[in-house]
Structure 1
Amino acid sequence: MEFEKALENVLQNLGFNHWLYFLAISSVQIFGNPHITAMAFLGKTPGFSCNTDKEKKLDPCKSQCDKYVFEKNYTSISTEWNLVCDESYKVPLAQEILMFGFLLGVVVLGSGSDKMGRLRTLMICLYIQVIAQASMLFCTSYFQFALSRFLLGFTAGGSSLTSYVIIMENILSHHRALAGTVGQIAFALGNVTFSLMAFYIRDWRMLSLAIAVTNVPFLFLSCFIPESPRWLMSEGRISEAEDALYRVGKMSNPTFNRQMVSITETKEEGPKASSGTFDAFRTPEIRRRLLALMFAWFTCSFVYYGLTMNATSQGSNMYVSFALSGLVEVPAHLICTVALNRIGRKRCLFLAFFTGGLSCLFVDFTSSTSGLFSPLSLSLVGKMGIAMAFNGIYLFSLELFPTVIRNGAMGLCSMAARVGGIAAPLLSNYGEDITFVGFGVTGVISGLLMLMLPETLGLPLPETIDDVECWKSI
């Protein structure tokens, strides 16, 4: 039988153990999330004053200080290496370095997994992440810390992409939306678990070690999770693909037999005509779609990571605020899953971007310190909006690009998102007011851009560039 039929035999009735299989892979996101967002606490600067200012009335950044005295609520790299005043730029710089590593990791390890295999790439990333995270316990300089953050970003880019691909490659099409949402929710819950860890562990070195320890169980993931059967098939390793499918099938059905996944080697078709991604810029409709979506992906990452890292500055309790920032994503992803199929892709994304953008703009104009229009409440609404947009933009982009350039175009969009992740901490150097204006303006513009794109709900995927050029609907 063909591979798709064998996969259907395995997954047509998803059992409890099957969902445990997908949940185990998605859990990489829950405990891997702190690698990316750790600077919200590791870089947090407590109140401080000059050691010569006994009454604490002077601005420590405008006084000549021999030494800074920090409040004892918690420690961070700021308290460790005096990263305040003229040196304060190094805190967001560490996050920029991580996101630059993330960008490289998506590109290098994303293509590397096509050659080495999904599972092997994932395991390499997980091992390096644990070592790099634990190494922070022994960092004696900012340079060593920044190097560890780069390695974390590089491997986090690989592990997040690969774990997502493993799930999407090995689930039936009508379950993909739900499986994708589970992955998004898992990432959001990572913020909640991390805020709990940070609340109980106030020393930044011990917190780094705790993050590493919580990821140790995933080093044994390969003992329970088989390699992606679809990747094995693409490599011509049919017998191994059958073994992998058989292992998955036995999870929920003890009577599952090997013949149910017996794959017949299909005759290889001739190469399909393809186009280079940059050739697509020469056609007006593809160019319009690509530029609009690249800006939207930039906005998603820019606003999402910006609001996440800024959550500790909102509200009276930074641990509660950070946890809420993750919790509000759960209903956002569930609403998005329903709305995409009810009101359409572009209207759903327009509302998501517009809601997120306006909420961020209102943060700068509110005078309320509590209630519905407080900065914390508005930023949480903004986080819900951008989380919905991040969830839906992937599917919308997938459906707007023709098959012949889809992978390349999606790669360009993903790179735009990584640039947004780098820009978010950079903008924070200019103050909170400008930061939220930046979030708001990009969100509103992205929402308007969505209205310029055609609706794709219920339509077949375009195959060629000509299909797209003949289908111009605004």
Structure 2
Amino acid sequence: MVKLKRFGMDWRGIASWQSLTMPPSESSDPVIVALGYFGPWQWRMLLLVALVKVPAAWQMMSILFLASSPESFGGMYFCARTDRDRWTPQEWIEKWHPKSNKYLNGFDPCFVYAGYANDSAPSPYNDGLIGCKDFEFLVDRTTMITQWSLVCDRNRLINVVQSLYLFGIFCGGVVTYSLLKIISPRTIIVVGAALQVAAGIALALQPIYILHCFLKFLVGLSACIMFSAGYQIVVDVTSGQPKLIAGVCYELFWSFGALSLGWMNEAARSWVNLQLMITCPTLLFILLCWFLPDSPRWLIAHGKHKQAENLLRSAAKVNGNILPDDYAVSKPDKPATNNEAEKEPLEKMKVFCCQLIWISTIVTYYGGLLNFRNVGGTNLPGRTTIAGVAEIVGTIIGLVLVLKSRYKIGFMSFLLFIGGICCVCSWAITPNFMGSRGGWAMVGLAVVGRISIACSLAVMTNGGTADYIPIARRPFITMLLLTGGRFFLMGAPFLNSLAFYADSITLSAYGVLILVAALSSFYLFFTSEYKHGPLTARILPKASSNVKPKKPSDENIVGTHINPCFVNDEGIERVI
């Protein structure tokens, strides 16, 4: 038995995990022996690593402000005048543009009467309409829309840009999973940060749309490998319930980025300035990487025992732990085998439900955030701030369910049902004179859905999936489930574009996705959690000296980003 010295700071209960008598199954783990479950060293490391989530949120949401429509900040656009000396903008609009309540400025800027070419025609209204090819913008700031005239039929090119960014996220997860087999998480983070800085600055300085799309893909790729590798470090150096708390705190930094971006845009006043503002802080993070520790488990698994031992000894001093005299770092022993467990069949229906939940959660969490452009009027910074606060509330609710509730999936399904119904009910809002249902009532309904889906993300990230997948297959299948959700996320920008026809179409579509997640969660609850109890509750170590020993492979089952480099002697991957 190994005892950990309790450090002398008041960590409001977290310190109690440090003053424990460890069960035999954990006393052979050099990382837990040195670090304990959580301490000041892990807390400092978490705050440093989690910084990668803030620029990731900025880059993800940036399209809302980089390509904001002129109407959203008091501007307008219209078909280019044939003679600017003869026509003022107002005179041109009144004579040649058809009236339309569908647009905020009261006219259709995409079409003009066919007689505009012969502007001396006395009655142009009988000649029909033709689409505009060139546009003029009356704005006090520049955006991607004003630079490349991405309006009317060309507006869908904005969706192409964001979809390519999401394609980078999709590829980034697979790339990180592969790189972790040969490259340490810290190195991956540094490489990703350097790539993000280079691509992000190039985005702001180059004038070519096609090149912009390619660079956007690189930014998405770099963002994903940064926060995926960062999460791996977080789960590698924490254990037990503190692992759950650390994982949720890591995700909260995304919400901090989401609620701050809108106000950064107000200061930038230009899409080029904003792109530089959300990219340059990553330069500072590259400098801070000097203080960023690597994953000790990765070092041990790759035979770098001396480097791992030096890291763990210095971390143990920070945490106030007294290491035993015979402390040494070596590759973990062969885990206890259980032939029946290794041959445990995969329950395909439950895995299918997990996939539906992941698809609904990822598409709604990230795509629904981009959809806040279409609800609530013109105050976009205020709406994104509200969305960020809703994410924080939902994430904290999810953490409480994971830590305190015996039936976390059951309660999650109930919250998802409420959120889905609220989003679908956006059709019930009375439209205004323009036919729009957008307003604070729709924002309120969207916020309820956002809270529920943030709760779902917190629960699924912290053990929700692992409960239904055999340990031997867990790393690869969990990666597939997450990648499947990201694949469908690439279509979210085009789904959001349907709001042009009716504000409530997209919010209702996300409501249907939330209801799909609710039904899938209820199936898992009724067929597994309700009958047998949650697996996570039986696996997480308790703060007691009489913990029943467990297999080493039973420990870190939580997390969606899995380090595939830890393989037992039978060649079976397991999460460490």
- Tell whether the structures are fold-level matches, with TM greater than 0.5: yes
1:10, CA displacement in angstroms? 3.4
Distance 1:200 1:94 in 2: 24
- Please say if 1:116 is aligned against 2:116: no
Which amino acid in 2 is paired with 1:360? C
Distance of aligned partners of 1:74 and 1:271 in 2 relative to their CA distance in 1, 3 Å threshold:
farther
Asked whether the equivalents of residues 7 and 170 of structure 1 are also in contact (C-alpha less than 8 Å), the reply is yes
Asked whether the equivalents of residues 300 and 420 of structure 1 are also in contact (C-alpha less than 8 Å), the reply is no
Asked whether the equivalents of residues 274 and 404 of structure 1 are also in contact (C-alpha less than 8 Å), the reply is no
1:259, CA displacement in angstroms? 5.3
Cα deviation digits, residues 306-333 of structure 1 (max 9, x gap)? 2211223332411111111111111211
- Please say if 1:421 is aligned against 2:489: yes
Q: Residue 12 of structure 1 is aligned with which of 36, 45, 50?
A: 36
Deviates more, 1:19-28 or 1:354-363: 354-363
Which amino acid in 1 is paired with 2:183? M
Distance of aligned partners of 1:427 and 1:13 in 2 relative to their CA distance in 1, 3 Å threshold:
closer
Distance of aligned partners of 1:88 and 1:179 in 2 relative to their CA distance in 1, 3 Å threshold:
same
Task: Name the structure with the higher helix share.
Answer: 1
- Please say if 1:314 is aligned against 2:375: yes
SS at match of 1:70: strand
What is residue 444 of structure 1 aligned with on the other side?
A: 515
Distance 1:82 1:3 in 2: 64
1:354, CA displacement in angstroms? 1.5
Which amino acid in 2 is paired with 1:322? T
Distance 2:133 2:348 in 1: 57
Q: Residue 201 of structure 2 is aligned with which of 134, 137, 147?
A: 134
Distance of aligned partners of 1:423 and 1:371 in 2 relative to their CA distance in 1, 3 Å threshold:
closer
Distance of aligned partners of 1:275 and 1:79 in 2 relative to their CA distance in 1, 3 Å threshold:
farther
Distance of aligned partners of 1:365 and 1:117 in 2 relative to their CA distance in 1, 3 Å threshold:
same
What is residue 263 of structure 1 aligned with on the other side?
A: 329
Which amino acid in 1 is paired with 2:421? L
What is residue 325 of structure 1 aligned with on the other side?
A: 387
SS at match of 2:182: helix
- Please say if 1:62 is aligned against 2:98: no
- Please say if 1:359 is aligned against 2:426: no
Which amino acid in 1 is paired with 2:288? L
What is residue 472 of structure 1 aligned with on the other side?
A: none
Distance of aligned partners of 1:259 and 1:220 in 2 relative to their CA distance in 1, 3 Å threshold:
farther
1:181, CA displacement in angstroms? 1.1
Which amino acid in 2 is paired with 1:349? M
Cα deviation digits, residues 277-307 of structure 1 (max 9, x gap)? xx99xx6x62101111111111111111222
SS at match of 2:111: coil
1:445, CA displacement in angstroms? 1.6
Which amino acid in 1 is paired with 2:398? C
Which amino acid in 2 is paired with 1:407? P
Distance 2:232 2:27 in 1: 17
Distance of aligned partners of 1:73 and 1:401 in 2 relative to their CA distance in 1, 3 Å threshold:
farther
Asked whether the equivalents of residues 350 and 447 of structure 1 are also in contact (C-alpha less than 8 Å), the reply is yes
Asked whether the equivalents of residues 100 and 150 of structure 1 are also in contact (C-alpha less than 8 Å), the reply is yes
Distance 2:375 2:280 in 1: 29
Deviates more, 1:260-269 or 1:333-342: 260-269
What is residue 411 of structure 1 aligned with on the other side?
A: 479
1:152, CA displacement in angstroms? 0.9
Which amino acid in 1 is paired with 2:506? T
Q: Residue 390 of structure 1 is aligned with which of 457, 460, 476?
A: 457
Distance 2:476 2:280 in 1: 37
What is residue 21 of structure 1 aligned with on the other side?
A: 45
Q: Residue 157 of structure 1 is aligned with which of 204, 207, 224?
A: 224
Distance of aligned partners of 1:384 and 1:260 in 2 relative to their CA distance in 1, 3 Å threshold:
farther
Distance 2:195 2:184 in 1: 17
1:71, CA displacement in angstroms? 3.9
What is residue 211 of structure 1 aligned with on the other side?
A: 278
Distance of aligned partners of 1:301 and 1:13 in 2 relative to their CA distance in 1, 3 Å threshold:
closer
Which amino acid in 1 is paired with 2:510? F
Which residues of 2 match residues 67-466 of structure 1 at below 5 A? 67-253=134-320, 262-264=328-330, 267-268=333-334, 286-316=347-377, 317-340=379-402, 341-367=404-430, 374-394=441-461, 395-431=463-499, 432-453=503-524, 454-455=528-529, 456-457=533-534, 458-460=537-539
Distance of aligned partners of 1:71 and 1:421 in 2 relative to their CA distance in 1, 3 Å threshold:
farther
Which amino acid in 1 is paired with 2:43? W
1:273, CA displacement in angstroms? 7.2
Distance of aligned partners of 1:78 and 1:264 in 2 relative to their CA distance in 1, 3 Å threshold:
closer
Cα deviation digits, residues 324-381 of structure 1 (max 9, x gap)? 1111111211111112332512212202321221222122321288999701111111
Distance 2:506 2:522 in 1: 25
For the pair shown, the structure with the greater C-alpha radius of gyration is: 2
Distance 1:98 1:274 in 2: 43
Asked whether the equivalents of residues 357 and 517 of structure 2 are also in contact (C-alpha less than 8 Å), the reply is yes
Distance of aligned partners of 1:135 and 1:7 in 2 relative to their CA distance in 1, 3 Å threshold:
same
Distance of aligned partners of 1:13 and 1:75 in 2 relative to their CA distance in 1, 3 Å threshold:
same
Distance 1:293 1:268 in 2: 30
Asked whether the equivalents of residues 366 and 373 of structure 1 are also in contact (C-alpha less than 8 Å), the reply is no
TM-score normalised to structure 2 length: 0.73
What is residue 86 of structure 2 aligned with on the other side?
A: none
Asked whether the equivalents of residues 118 and 166 of structure 1 are also in contact (C-alpha less than 8 Å), the reply is yes
1:92, CA displacement in angstroms? 1.2
Asked whether the equivalents of residues 350 and 451 of structure 1 are also in contact (C-alpha less than 8 Å), the reply is yes
1:105, CA displacement in angstroms? 1.0
Cα deviation digits, residues 1-26 of structure 1 (max 9, x gap)? 98854323433374445312211101
What is residue 543 of structure 2 aligned with on the other side?
A: none
Distance of aligned partners of 1:446 and 1:266 in 2 relative to their CA distance in 1, 3 Å threshold:
closer
RMSD of aligned C-alpha atoms?
3.0
Which amino acid in 2 is paired with 1:326? G
Which amino acid in 1 is paired with 2:520? L
Distance 1:17 1:113 in 2: 23
Q: Which runs of 5+ in 1 are unaligned?
A: 465-474
Distance 2:365 2:354 in 1: 16
Distance 2:429 2:488 in 1: 26
TM-score normalised to structure 1 length: 0.88
Which amino acid in 2 is paired with 1:429? S
Q: Residue 50 of structure 1 is aligned with which of 69, 76, 79?
A: 79
1:66, CA displacement in angstroms? 5.6
Distance of aligned partners of 1:146 and 1:62 in 2 relative to their CA distance in 1, 3 Å threshold:
same
Asked whether the equivalents of residues 173 and 228 of structure 2 are also in contact (C-alpha less than 8 Å), the reply is yes
1:35, CA displacement in angstroms? 1.6
Q: Which runs of 5+ in 2 are unaligned?
A: 3-25, 72-76, 82-88, 98-107, 113-130, 541-550, 555-576
1:420, CA displacement in angstroms? 2.9
Deviates more, 1:364-373 or 1:92-101: 364-373
SS at match of 2:58: helix
Which amino acid in 1 is paired with 2:397? I
Distance 2:268 2:202 in 1: 17
Distance 2:430 2:51 in 1: 40
**Residues matched between the structures, number:** 458
SS at match of 2:347: helix
User: Moved runs in structure 1, 4+ residues, more than 6 A?
Assistant: 255-258, 269-276, 368-373, 461-464
